Amino acid sequence: MPAPHAMAENHFQTHDGVSLFYRHRPARGHRRGAVVMFHRGHEHSGRLAHLIDELDLPDFDFFAWDARGHGGHPLKGAGAPTAERMARDLQNLLDHYRLDQAVAVGHSMGALTLWQYLRDFGDSRLSRLVFIDQSPRLLTGEGWQGGIYGDFGPERSATFMAELQQDFAEAVLRLVALGHNPQARALYQENAKGIQLARERLRALDPQPLIDCWASLTAADYRDVLAGIGIPALLVYGGASNFYSAGTAQYVRDSIPNAVLHTYPDVDHAPHLWERERFVRDVLDFVSGGSHG
């Protein structure tokens, strides 16, 4: 494993005046490209810090930021962190650092943000895409069972929204626990130490921006975006995902013209964290062109 090198913590300002916290590992020597990484909902960029250290691409800049309304940073009067707004934040970051041909990596909410970005801005400033365990439409309905649990329609979503308002932390924990992954269910029912720590962390957050964000994400449908993606895509899905079946992953693979799917057996919605070494190898191979060679 390569030795970690300096990672700066700073802020950049979006065009609507919001200051967003980000982590930046600069390239060593001449910069050949950039990797931009997006975390899942209700989390923060720190979850990606170890991956940034382990991805040994010395001639690439790395960026990961806390999405607006996330990471404990107050919005200070700005609008809700909608998918559209977070996609524009990405465009602002690319503008700020004059980045082109960036490799974009999105987990969960981060993947949805990338699909929104592609809808709004196209892929001309990106070179490769990595989507981690996400469906292009979260809600299920007639003719579409590729969303959450394969059975999460508008009525169930409305119930969940009410639960978020009542007890945000517990609603999020139940959403994660009561899906396809039996280990997640068992840990929740046992109130394991990890569940207790997650509950404390979630209760420390300002829930309303995150609830507003969820409303935006569940209203979105990116199935039409997939066929128009003109650059290579790496798909990494958990074989024991809390939320999605193998059919969802296969649908995304079959819908993107130049996509390769890697399914990591026996891991949940965060395959890149449970199988970090494999994920790092896969991304390095993908960025070098091996996965599409």
Interatomic CA distance for residues 158 and 163, integer angstroms: 9
Local structure of 91: helix, strand or coil: helix
Q: What is the pLDDT of residue 293?
A: 36
Amino acid sitting at position 125: R
| Cβ atoms of residues 79 and 16 within 8 Å | yes
Residue 186 has pLDDT above 90, yes or no: yes
pLDDT band at 58 (very low <50, low <70, confident <90, very high): confident
What are the percentages of helix, strand and coil residues in the chain, rounded to 5?
45, 20, 40
What digits encode the pLDDT tens for the residues 108-156? 999 999 999 999 999 999 999 999 999 999 999 999 999 999 999 999 9
> Distance between CA 67 and CA 65 in Å, rounded?
6
- Distance between CA 94 and CA 199 in Å, rounded? 34
Decide: pTM greater than 0.85: yes
CA distance 124 to 104: 12
Element (H, E) at 258: none
Strands 60-65 and 33-38, by their bridges, are: parallel
- The answer for 107, left when phi > 0, alpha when psi is -120 to 50, beta otherwise, is beta
Distance (Å, rounded) from C-alpha 69 to C-alpha 75?
A: 6
Render pLDDT for 241-286 as a digit per residue (tens, 0 to 9): 999 999 999 999 999 999 999 999 999 999 999 999 999 999 999 9
Q: Are strands 60-65 and 233-238 parallel, antiparallel or unpaired?
A: unpaired
CA 166 to chain centre: 25
Tell me the pLDDT band of 2, cut-offs 50, 70 and 90: very low
